[in-house]
Homo-oligomer: A and B are copies of this chain.
């Protein structure tokens, strides 16, 4: 009797080492509904060996837009808020900015006036705040800013304004053998200093817009200098290009929130076998923001039409998400 019991204990111990605990809901911040169901259904199908929708693990590439998909983007792209803070910080070293647009307007707090100059004005701000330094210097500036700068509405760190349901989705995909990537119009060097800590996405899995770099020796020490020249814009038709250049495989799952993501979703959809295309629809004016077709930021118009026509998953933030930000969880 004792022998049997001891054996049973030993077996139980062995089993406990090899069988995972009964799986809890991997997406607890998602309300039950069509969006959540479509995600779980997709994942279960592609990971089932022998099933007709099975996808081998190395092919489980999942790409996510960042602004408006993984973190908020209102009242302005967070990277633009960073650039404006940098203009203020650098102004003492640039007395000429007082009389020079777009800096003069910016320093008076007139963002609209500053951006009236269109793309050339934005490019001047980008050059002044993102270039002409080494990659190591810029990384430190981004780390300092993300550790201290607060969002004007929530008064939270910008990196706290990430979407809890999307964090759960990233973790759920990784637990099922997916490799998760960011594919963003944002600057690649602006994202990499914090994506690993915040999203669990390492620098080598971040695709983004970039400026040209130059290898140089300073006092015999190698540096990479950020030149005042654009290299690549990872937006719209640039997203499939960025995916091919850096990942070299077509995603089986892609998530975005705006027309800037439409081509990434088309590229994903055009692969063979089962695919998942998702859009975050900003419908929650109380807990977040509500905007789509006519928004100046993150406009979702043509991609929404295509999603509806083709049955892509559209996440209704208001209805589908129990919480928006991690800090809302008690």
Contact of A240 among B179, B192, B222, B249 (CB under 8 A): B222
A248 near B213 (CB under 8 angstroms)? no
A241: CB under 8 A from chain B? yes
Interface centre among A6, A192, A214, A215 (most CB of B within 10 A): A215
A203: CB under 8 A from chain B? yes
B188 near A222 (CB under 8 angstroms)? no
Q: Report B-chain residues with C-beta under 8 Å of the C-beta of A244.
A: 135, 213, 224
In the bound complex, how far is the Cα of B58 from the Cα of A4, in angstroms? 45
When A10-B10, A196-B58 are in contact, do A245 and B210 touch as well, CB less than 8 Å? yes
A43: CB under 8 A from chain B? no
Q: Report B-chain residues with C-beta under 8 Å of the C-beta of A205.
A: 204
In the bound complex, how far is the Cα of B179 from the Cα of A248, in angstroms? 17
Residues of chain A at interface, number, CB under 8 A: 45
In the complex formed, the residue of B with least CB distance to A139 is B248
Nearest CB of B to A252, in Å:
14
A sample of 15 inter-chain contacts (CB < 8 A) reads A3-B6, A10-B13, A10-B14, A61-B204, A189-B248, A203-B248, A203-B249, A204-B246, A206-B248, A214-B241, A215-B238, A215-B263, A222-B240, A224-B240, A224-B241
A177: CB under 8 A from chain B? no
When A203-B247, A246-B246, A248-B206 are in contact, do A263 and B14 touch as well, CB less than 8 Å? no
In the bound complex, how far is the Cα of B13 from the Cα of A49, in angstroms? 28
B203 near A215 (CB under 8 angstroms)? no
Nearest CB of B to A198, in Å:
14
Q: Report B-chain residues with C-beta under 8 Å of the C-beta of A237.
A: 214-215
Q: Report B-chain residues with C-beta under 8 Å of the C-beta of A267.
A: 215, 222
In the complex formed, the residue of B with least CB distance to A271 is B222
Contact of A14 among B2, B14, B248 (CB under 8 A): B14
Q: Report B-chain residues with C-beta under 8 Å of the C-beta of A13.
A: 10, 14
In the bound complex, how far is the Cα of B250 from the Cα of A192, in angstroms? 13
A202: CB under 8 A from chain B? yes
Q: Report B-chain residues with C-beta under 8 Å of the C-beta of A240.
A: 215, 222, 224
Contact of A241 among B6, B215, B247, B266 (CB under 8 A): B215
Contacts beyond the supplied A203-B249, A222-B263, A224-B240: 14 A-B pairs with Cβ under 8 Å: A2-B3, A7-B10, A14-B17, A17-B17, A58-B202, A203-B248, A204-B204, A213-B241, A214-B237, A214-B241, A215-B240, A221-B270, A222-B240, A224-B241
A18: CB under 8 A from chain B? yes
Segment 197-251 of A: residues with Cβ below 8 Å from B? 202-206, 210, 213-215, 217, 221-222, 224, 231, 237-238, 240-241, 244-249
Q: Give 4 nearest A-B pairs by CB, closest first.
A: A203-B248, A10-B10, A215-B237, A204-B247
In the bound complex, how far is the Cα of B249 from the Cα of A244, in angstroms? 20
Nearest CB of B to A246, in Å:
5
In the bound complex, how far is the Cα of B179 from the Cα of A222, in angstroms? 23
In the complex formed, the residue of B with least CB distance to A136 is B250
B213 near A245 (CB under 8 angstroms)? yes
